[in-house]
Structure 1
Amino acid sequence: MLVEDSRINVAILAVPEVTASALFGMFDLFSSPGRDWPFIVKGEAGEQRMRPYIVARTSEGFQAANGIWVKPDFDLNGCPQPDIVCIPDFFVNPGESVSGQYDAEAGWLKQSHEDGAMLASACSGAVLLGEAGLLDNCDATIHWGYVATLTNNYPGVKVKVDRSLVLSGEAQRIVMAGGGSSWQDLALYLIARFVGLKEAMEVAKVYMLQWHDLGQQPFASLMGFRQTRDAAINKCQEWLAMNYRTHAPVAAMTALSGLPERSFIRRFTKAAGMTPLDYVHALRLEEAKQMLETTDMPIEAIANETGYEDTSFFGRLFLRKTGMTPSHYRLRFGSLGRALRHE
């Protein structure tokens, strides 16, 4: 007599460009609920509550982006009906369209959603949700470096880059995690939602995972990369990179450009994607972040080094742009530098 499998089916979608750490890391975490905690505390594995499997366009093996071998358990047409579909991040050029490259995966995702599955993406995996037509006029999140990949290609999508997780769609059956290792947050959330909070906490303790409650803001670069053919603006950007401490740098760049002030501001904003003053602050704060990460300089000295005479203004601006005070940022991100300096 066959015993019905009561485990929750978790399909993890793999494409050849997939990031192997997220793919196999998700597999490990979804295999853990119910099984690993009893093994750790009692020496005997418990009953596994979730059933992860890797699904791809074809069940034939392929090399992932970093060269590691991936052998899917099922192809798109032959896999068990999933309760959850997870989409790990994969390599895609920031801002570029992938239209037509993943039609089979997009169609399968759309059908899985219509059949009642919860869809969950990590980092750039959200692009495949967009290809499936599931992000139009919806809230979303993605790695801070890939915001333009969504906004350039899917109508009306509203990217909440400051949030670790974003729930969207009917009955909140679409969930997206922002960047990098946020697939860990995504897995813990899904375990809590489908198995239970207790089991999610047990998995977090077994794997020593920390919830990224601060979101992406402290990790994100404040400098947006924008290519421009405007030689006058390029010249000003190059000058500012070496002279960001200068008093009244916007006035100095305006003079350097040889343009009327209004024309300079308009052309700079169009070329750089932000106003000249915002660009100055972004450049200064990126330098300040690096100093906080790699030196023991007092915060007042860092403020002065990056062009701010008023340390309190520097602190307020830093908090507004990064979501953390300079002291908290140093505590969070300076530990590796301190370890290297104190070897």
Structure 2
Amino acid sequence: MTQLVGPSSTAVTIALLAGPDATASTLYGMYDLLGSAGRDWELLTNGRMGEPRLKPVIVSRDGCGFRAANGAWIEPDATLDECLAPTVVCIPDLFVAPEARLEGYAEEIAWLRTCRRDGALLAAACTGALLLAEAGLLDGEDATTHWAYCDALARRFPRVRVHAHRSLVVAGEGQRLIMAGGGTSWVDLALFLVARLVGVDEAMHLARIHLIDWHQDGQQPYAALTRSRQVADACIARCQVWVAQHYDTPSPVAGMVRLSGLSERSFKRRFKAATGMTPMEYVHTLRLEEAKQILESGDAPIDEVAEQVGYSDPSFFRRLFGRRVGLTPSQYRRRFRAMRLRLQ
């Protein structure tokens, strides 16, 4: 049986931070992918293990094993104090609600600030960017996170320039802040790190080994455009329920105004305060989300789809869809219709 060789003394150390809200899938997925750089291509093509070029190390505040947020067991390799000078720090995603505040991270935040001060490259996958923001390390910088958390990140940290549509953002002095968006875009992050630390050829090797397809269109096509229904303002909540069933009517905003019993000006002000969107913006999100479902599940012509969701001008629908979704309706159908058919 072939023995797995350990990383050499020249391998670059990458600390994977296992915080209280860590999930095991991203943490160990990054551990495996980064650890295979320099090692696995040689095994597959020449029959012998290559020399690992990167040394991933799982670190936590006390080094003790713990049950992850998703129930899996995480066994760290070292404490924060034992990993004082990593070349790279990666923060995997955190299993928290979009509006939740990160509590109990004082030790991790202090450690991240020290690593940043000492010149480490800081990378975050998905919601891991929330911890960088909490540490004040994203102030005045470009950033991204999972599409469902971008609004909350922008509201809580107004000094951060959040790019919701991008699946990868490189920022900061010396480009030492790297963030990936949602879901499996941590794979893009890992490949980017391999390209930067080892070389583009090795990153391409890993992409070929693991059948990785870069998220070149960003995360915008995957995002759900609608927001959670708010219930604090009962009048507006009632209008949201109504418009969810009547968004395809000719004048849905006027219908909501009538239902509310308010003046048009007062209604629009209260709706924006409650939802963060104007009434018409909200209608557009409902219509486009329904259009996405129709495009995924059927073969109706684009003009017919536009009419079904309430747009009498197909060209306006195409422009709006492209601007909000990041793909044309036809491109969206080609990508996601095929995916749905395979799953069915």
Q: What TM-score, normalized to structure 1?
A: 0.94
**Partner SS, residue 334 of structure 1:** helix
Of 206, 217, 223 in structure 1, the residue corresponding to residue 226 of structure 2 is 223
Q: Distance in 2 between matches of 1:315 and 1:56?
A: 48
- The residue aligned with 1:92 is 96
- The percent of aligned pairs where both chains have the same amino acid is 53
**Partner SS, residue 89 of structure 2:** strand
Shift of residue 4, structure 1, vs aligned partner: 7.3
Of 73, 80, 86 in structure 2, the residue corresponding to residue 76 of structure 1 is 80
Matches for 1:234-313 after TM superposition, within 5 Å: 234-313=237-316
Asked whether the equivalents of residues 103 and 131 of structure 1 are also in contact (C-alpha less than 8 Å), the reply is no
Asked whether the equivalents of residues 224 and 273 of structure 1 are also in contact (C-alpha less than 8 Å), the reply is no
Q: Distance in 2 between matches of 1:157 and 1:336?
A: 34
RMSD: 1.7
Q: Distance in 2 between matches of 1:44 and 1:229?
A: 63
- The residue aligned with 2:39 is 35
- The residue aligned with 1:114 is 117
Q: Distance in 2 between matches of 1:33 and 1:285?
A: 41
- The residue aligned with 1:5 is 9
Shift of residue 144, structure 1, vs aligned partner: 1.3
Q: For residues 266-318 of structure 1, what are the alpha-carbon distances to aligned partners after superposition, in whole Å with 9 as ceiling and x for unaligned?
A: 11111121111111111000011111122233322222211122222211111
Q: Distance in 1 between matches of 2:52 and 2:146?
A: 31
Shift of residue 241, structure 1, vs aligned partner: 0.8
Matches for 1:158-197 after TM superposition, within 5 Å: 158-197=161-200
Matches for 1:40-55 after TM superposition, within 5 Å: 40-55=44-59
Q: For residues 98-125 of structure 1, what are the alpha-carbon distances to aligned partners after superposition, in whole Å with 9 as ceiling and x for unaligned?
A: 14x1011111111111111100001110
Q: Distance in 1 between matches of 2:137 and 2:97?
A: 21
Equivalent position amino acid for 1:154 in 2: F
Shift of residue 205, structure 1, vs aligned partner: 0.7
- The residue aligned with 1:135 is 138
Q: For residues 147-171 of structure 1, what are the alpha-carbon distances to aligned partners after superposition, in whole Å with 9 as ceiling and x for unaligned?
A: 2442343351111111121122221
The 1:340/1:205 distance shift into structure 2, 3 A limit, reads closer
Asked whether the equivalents of residues 95 and 147 of structure 1 are also in contact (C-alpha less than 8 Å), the reply is no
Equivalent position amino acid for 2:148 in 1: G
Q: What TM-score, normalized to structure 2?
A: 0.94
Asked whether the equivalents of residues 230 and 237 of structure 2 are also in contact (C-alpha less than 8 Å), the reply is no
More off after superposition, 152-161 vs 50-59: 152-161
Equivalent position amino acid for 1:141 in 2: T
Asked whether the equivalents of residues 97 and 149 of structure 1 are also in contact (C-alpha less than 8 Å), the reply is no
The answer as to 2:341 corresponding to 1:338 is yes
**Partner SS, residue 93 of structure 1:** coil
- Structure 2: which 5+ residue stretches go unaligned? 1-6
Q: Distance in 2 between matches of 1:226 and 1:54?
A: 39
